[in-house]
Amino acid sequence: MIRIPHASSGEPNPLRALTLDQLRCRTSMKWRTHPDDVLPMWVAEMDVPLAEPVVRAVTDALARGDTGYPAGSAFAEALADFADERWGWKGLAVERTAIVPDVMMGVVEMLKLVTGPGDPVVVNTPVYPPFFHFVEHMDRQVVEAPLGAGLRIDLDRLEEAFRRAVAQGRRAAYLLCSPHNPTGTVHTADELAAVAGLADRYGVHVVADEIHAQLVVGDVDFVPYLSVPGAENGLSLMSASKAWNLAGLKAALAVAGPTAAADLARLPEEVSHGPSHVGVIAHTAALRDGTAWLDALLSGLDDNRRLLTDLLAEHLPAITYRPGEATYFAWLDCRALGLGDDPADRFLRRGRVALNSGIPFGTGGAGHVRLNLATTPEIVEEGVRRMAAALK
- DSSP states of 309-374 as a string? HHHHHHH-TTSEE---SBSSEEEEE-GGGT--S-HHHHHHHHH-EE-EESGGG-TT-TTEEEEE--
**pTM summary value:** 0.96
Q: Sketch the domain layout of the chain as residue ranges.
A: 14-51+291-389, 68-289
Q: Which fold has domain 68-289?
A: Aspartate Aminotransferase; domain 2 (3.40.640)
Residue 244 backbone dihedrals phi, psi, to 5 degrees? -115, 15
Beta-carbon contacts of residue 251 (< 8 Å; ≥ 6 apart): 70, 75, 99, 101, 102, 239, 240, 241, 275, 276, 279, 280, 282, 283
- For 181, counting Cβ atoms within 10 Å of its Cβ (0-12 exposed, 13-18 middle, 19+ buried), the class is buried
Strand, coil or helix: 145: coil
Q: What is the mean pLDDT of each run of 10 residues along the chain (392 residues)?
A: 47 97 98 98 98 98 97 97 97 97 98 98 98 97 97 98 93 98 98 98 98 95 97 98 98 98 97 96 98 98 98 98 97 98 98 98 98 98 98 94
Q: pLDDT tens digit string along 292-351?
A: 999 999 999 999 999 999 999 999 999 999 999 999 999 999 999 999 999 999 999 999
Strand, coil or helix: 153: coil
The CATH class given to the 14-51+291-389 domain equals alpha beta
